[in-house]
Structures are given as structure tokens and as C-alpha cells.
Amino acid sequence: MLTLLLALFFFIFFVCVHAALFRLKFVRLEPHSIGLLSLLCFVPYGLLLFVKPVLSPETWPLPFSSALIYFGLCLWYTGQCAALENPSPSMMILVQLLKNPEKRVSPSELKEAFSNDRMIKPRLMDLAAFGHASFDGNHFTLTPRGRLIISVIRLYRRLIKRDLGG
Amino acid sequence: MPLDLLALLNAFVNFLLFLIIHIFIFRSEKYKTAPQVIFMSFLLGFPGLLIVHTLGFIFIPLMPLRLGAFLFTGIVAMGLYLILVFHYIAWIFGMSEAAMRIRLLNEIELHPQKRATLEDIYQNYNGEKILEVRLKRLLNAGHLTYDGQYYYLKGKVLLLQDFVSGLFKKLLGFPQG
């Protein structure tokens, strides 16, 4: 049980470190920087678990399981941070609903919020910025990385016999 | 070490079982909604967890045959299974089901010339289409209702996600409003 609490403690430690560095503008919300930070924060935890175990095997430390729990929590945190800068359409619908004192929204109000300039353009520019597509001022073309990503996902969707969503 | 090995093995074996079950059901095309398939497949992992866990305690050498160890390792295995299923749904199934960037990559790739302008993309995929798909999904999942004039919130799932996002924004010092 103490090992699980240690996993939770180091996850909270990682969250505090990331929040502090983010507020000081040393890191942003990109998954790779959060991932790197989680690895760095794992170093003292890894030392406690594997190099100088704080618990003897008789007290059920489960080091590999607790490491997986730590990284599972960090991955969840990464996903939540990514959603902050790019709210999902579901969250955008909720925001429109909550704006109204009667907590309701009409189809026309939603259509205004879901313009192409808000929904499509920024995401296409993200794809270009991350190197998944290139933009020559007029046309978008997939890079080899973008083609690989979409090929793998299409294969997966063929496996489960479902069309791509969006 | 044997306990750790058992917890990890148990979680991974039942995660594989979850994958096989839900892929099999999807391929059979005999289901109503995707969330039902995912949820049922996830639940079916639990008997598997218990079976693998019990067999592990019987057959793996050097296992501490104590009730405390049995229960504790079982809880850890369940937690690991939950983490694996959650991240599969979030990053693999969910992303291919709902991510707009993935759909945009597909739209560009599907274009006959393998390149597309904004107008080309808007013909098949645009803000209106995204809204239509998302509203349908939220209505089917029971998160919204529609009375012919307005959409209303139903249930607390969306509010819970909004609450969690709000906590994160406060933690990271995002400006309020």
C-alpha cells in the first residue's frame, strides 16, 4: 500500500513541478515537454523503488506496478493539459449552454460558434506546425509522418470495421 | 517480485482479452452504440482478472499465501487494467473516433491530387459537419436533449469534465473567464 501512496505522491510532485514551471513560463503544454518532465520527476522515485528500495520485498512493494501507475497518471495529466488549449467540440457546446442563464442553446447559436475559421483553420495550421502536413500558401499536403499516422489509423479502423470519425 | 509479476501479467492478459472481445464485437457489426461495446468488453475483463489472479497465486512459485497479499495484489491488478483500458480508449479508439486533426489528415490524403486547399477540405468536412456529428453523438449518449427549439444539458458527465478542466486551469494559472 505504501508503494501505491508513493506513486500518488510522486505524481502530485510532478504536477506541482509542472504547474510551477508553467506559471514561470519555463514550459508549455506540449505533450513532449510534459513527458520529459514526468521522466525527470520519476528519477528520485525510481531510485527509491529500484536502487535503494525503501521497503523490503516482504511488505509487497510492487515496484514495476507502481511505476506503471505513476506513468499512467502522468499520461492522463498530459491529455488533460492538451485539452486546455484546444477545447473539444463537446466542451464548446457545453460552454454555449452554460452561457445562457436558462442553460440552453439554439442550433443557430451553435452554428455561429462552429465556424470554419474557429474549427478547421487552426487545426490545419497545427498539423503544419507539428510537421504532419505542409502548406505552400494555397495547398495542404501530407508529409511522410502525416501519411504514416493516417495509414496506421486507417488500418486500425478497418480492423474494427468503423469509419473514421471527427 | 512474484506479486509484481502477477499484477502486471494479470492486467496485460486481461487488457488483451478486452481488446480481442471488443474488436470481435465491432467486426460482427451486431451492436447499437460504440460506448456500449467498450463498456461491456471492459466489464468482461473482471472475471478474467479474478481467474488469472487466483491461478497465479496457486501456480507461481514463492507467492506469499496470505489473504492480505491476495487482496492487495488483486486491487493493484484491477487498477492497472483500468489504466490500460482508459488510455486505449482515450488515445487510440477515442482519437480515431473523434479527433478532428486525424480527420483532416484523412481529408487531405483522400483528395485525388493528394493535396487540398481550404475550400476542397470544407466541401466534405467543415464546422457545420463537425457540429452535426458531435450533437448526434451527445444526443445518442444521453448528454443532451433537444425539444425542437433548444438543446439542453442532461446528466453530469460534461459538467464533470468541465469541472476537472476548471481545476487544471486554476492550477496552471489560466486567466479566468
How many angstroms separate the CA atoms of A67 and B4, rounded? 11
What integer is the mean pLDDT of B123-142? 91
Q: pLDDT: is B4 or A56 the higher one? A: B4
How many angstroms separate the CA atoms of B84 and B11, rounded? 8
pTM of the predicted model as reported, rounded to 2 decimal places: 0.88
Of the candidates B70, B68, B8, the residue with the CA atom closest to the CA atom of residue A64: B8
ipTM confidence score: 0.87
* Residue A145 contacts B where some CB pair is shorter than 8 Å: no
* Residue B51 contacts A where some CB pair is shorter than 8 Å: no
A140/B117 Cβ within 8 A: yes
Chain pair A-B, CB pairs under 8 angstroms: 219
**Cβ of A93: how many Cβ atoms within 10 Å?**
24
Residue A157's pLDDT is what? Answer: 95
Q: Which of residues 74-103 of A touch B (CB under 8 A)?
A: 75-76, 79-81, 83-84, 87-91, 93-94, 97-98, 103
Of the candidates A45, A36, A81, the residue with the CA atom closest to the CA atom of residue A66: A45
Residue B126's pLDDT is what? Answer: 93
Q: Which residues of B touch A118 (CB under 8 A)?
A: 127
Q: Which residues of A touch B79 (CB under 8 A)?
A: 4, 69
Q: What is the pLDDT of residues B55-84, one digit of tens each?
A: 888 887 766 677 888 888 899 999 999 999
Pairing of strands A140-142, B115-116: antiparallel
How many angstroms separate the CA atoms of A155 and A161, rounded? 10
Q: For chain B, what percent of residues have pLDDT higher than 70?
A: 97
Instruction: Flag whether pLDDT at B3 surpasses 90.
Output: no
Backbone angles phi, psi at B151, to 5 degrees: -95, 140
How many angstroms separate the CA atoms of A128 and B115, rounded? 13
Instruction: Flag whether pLDDT at B118 surpasses 90.
Output: yes
Q: Going along chain B, which residue ranges are E strands?
A: 115-116, 144-146, 151-153
Q: What does the block give as the cell for A115?
A: 465556424
Ranges under pLDDT 70 in chain A? 52-61
Residue A105: which H helix or E strand, with range?
strand A104-105
Q: What is the pLDDT of residues B23-42, one digit of tens each?
A: 999 999 888 788 888 888 99
